[in-house]
Structure 1
Amino acid sequence: MSKRGYHHGNLRQALVEAALDLIEAKGPAGFTLSEAAKQAGVTPAAVYRHFAGRDDLIAEAALQGYEMFGALMEFAYRSGQPSALAAFEATGRAYLAFARKHPGHYIAMFESGISVNRTPELAAAALAARAVLEQAAKQLSEHIPPENRPPAAMFSAHIWAMSHGVVELFARGAPGSASPFAPEDLLESGIGIYLRGLGLLPVE
């Protein structure tokens, strides 16, 4: 656990970074505001100038996570163009990459119990992130005959659920979760099976 501490007058961000360290180490319910204050190098009373409670602090970490996640998904989607298939597959890989690189944010976003509707800003950031994957699904599903085409929201939800499952079960190093396959391979093969079922990939 790193000790970033309070520097340059940005107490709010120092507290968020302290919370991210504590979330990674203890989970979202395993620390107090006093511990976050100590990690940031300030008194507990100082925390309340910026956050009403721990949930507000975690919600801010989740908000920043969704903003980063959305930007990464957008970059992955654009980098895969002009191929709809490449763009779609890139967003799946970006999901796994984000969870590995930013575990504190990921936990705050998906495992803390904080509702994305807690604040309008958090809801908007979460919606924007999901919209990238839905756009990729919509673009790819245009290659499916209309009578067999699933709604883009359902299509993207399936891939989101698959990506989340691989992260939760095999990419976070949880005890007893060892897999004989790399998470990247599990996700790629799972997406491949799904896309073949929709007729978007040739059956091998």
Structure 2
Amino acid sequence: MSKRGYHHGNLRQALVDAALSLIEEKGPQGFTLSEAAKVAGVTPAAVYRHFQGREDLIAEAARQGYEIFADLMEYAYEKGQPSALASFEATGRAYLAFARKYPGHYMAMFESGISVNTNPELARVAMRANGILERAAGDLTKHIPPEKRPPAAMFSAHIWAMSHGVVELYARGTPGARTPFPPEELLETGIGIYLRGLGLIAPDA
């Protein structure tokens, strides 16, 4: 793996980029700070000018991932407007698209064991991403009388879990997990079944 050059002032980002490439290659727990420093083209001691340790470095990679993720979710939500159903379905597809396009960020966010509460900024941006899906869920159910309306937080959590399961089992090549259906179709039909069960779309829709 070749060393990456850097200019004064962007060493921090060079180290994050190095970590992301190593995460894609070896997994979040499969590299050391020394390896990240080598890929970035600096000495291991230089890392500690910007990060307290490996967990801090991965947390920053996760934070940047959540920023990208939230932007994609926001874009998907807005693109589906003014249809609440289109916005909701689009946010689900955005989850799958993000996992495929940004595997290093995805793994830093969801497979590293780093808590979103590691630092306030990471927690803030993770809440922003979750809030977009929750908003889409709320839009879809706001016509239901309050006493019969499923909580938007629970509703969105169900879809998040479904999206995550499809990504982990079928979109990222989990050994032994095979299906004749594309991940996109699995997710779309799964969301459709869920929404029909809640009476949010017609049975023949």
Normalised by the length of structure 2, the TM-score is 0.96
The answer to whether the 8 Å contact 2:170/2:179 transfers is: yes
Question: Residue 140 of structure 1 aligns to which amino acid in structure 2?
Answer: L
Q: How many residues align?
A: 203
Listed as ranges, the matches of 1:21-60 within 5 Å are 21-60=21-60
State the AA in 1 paired with 2:103.
P
Match of 1:109 in 2: 109
Q: Residue 16 of structure 1 contacts residue 57 of structure 1 at CA under 8 Å; is this kept in 2? A: yes
Once residues 146 and 118 of structure 2 are traced to their aligned partners in structure 1, the CA distance between those partners, rounded to angstroms, is 37
Are residue 71 (structure 1) and residue 56 (structure 2) matched?
no
Deviation at 1:3, TM superposition (A): 4.3
Structure 1, unaligned runs of 5 or more: none
Residue of structure 2 in register with 1:8 after alignment: 7
Could you tell me which residue of structure 2 aligns to residue 168 of structure 1? Answer: 168
Check the 8 A contact 1:196/1:203 in 2, yes or no: yes
Q: CA deviation at 1:145?
A: 3.5
Q: Map 1:143-158 to 2 at 5 A.
A: 143-158=143-158
8 Å contact from structure 1 (residues 37, 47) kept in 2: yes
Q: Which moved more, 1:169-178 or 1:128-137?
A: 169-178
Tell me if structure 1 keeps the 8 A contact 2:70–2:132: yes
Which amino acid counterpart does residue 86 of structure 1 have in structure 2?
Answer: A
TM-superposed deviation, 1:147? 3.2
Unpaired runs of at least 5, structure 2: none
Whether contact under 8 Å (2:3, 2:38) holds in the other structure is: no
Q: Does 1:194 align with 2:167?
A: no
- Higher mean alpha-carbon deviation, 192-201 vs 168-177, is at 168-177
Give, as a single letter, the amino acid of the residue that structure 1 aligns with 2:126. Answer: A
Counterpart in 2 of 1:124?
A: 124
Task: Indicate if the aligned counterparts of 2:72 and 2:94 stay in contact, CA closer than 8 A.
Answer: yes
> Partner of 2:85: helix, strand, or coil?
helix
Question: Given that residues 4 and 17 in structure 1 are in contact (C-alpha distance below 8 angstroms), is that contact kept between their aligned partners in structure 2?
Answer: no
SS at match of 2:202: coil
Native 8 Å contact 1:32 1:54 kept in 2: yes
Matched-pair contact (CA < 8 Å) for 1:4–1:14: no
What do the CA deviations read for 1:88-141 (whole angstroms, capped 9, x no partner)?
000000000000000100011111000100100000000000000000000001
Shift of 1:200: 1.1
Deviations, residues 42-62 of structure 1 (Å, cap 9, x unaligned): 111111111111000000000
1:149-180 residue CA offsets vs partner (Å, 9 max, x unmatched):
11000000000000000000000122222321
Percent of aligned pairs with the same amino acid: 75
Distance 1:122 1:176 in 2: 33
SS where residue 192 of structure 1 aligns? helix
1:97 corresponds to 2:97: yes
RMSD between aligned residues: 1.2
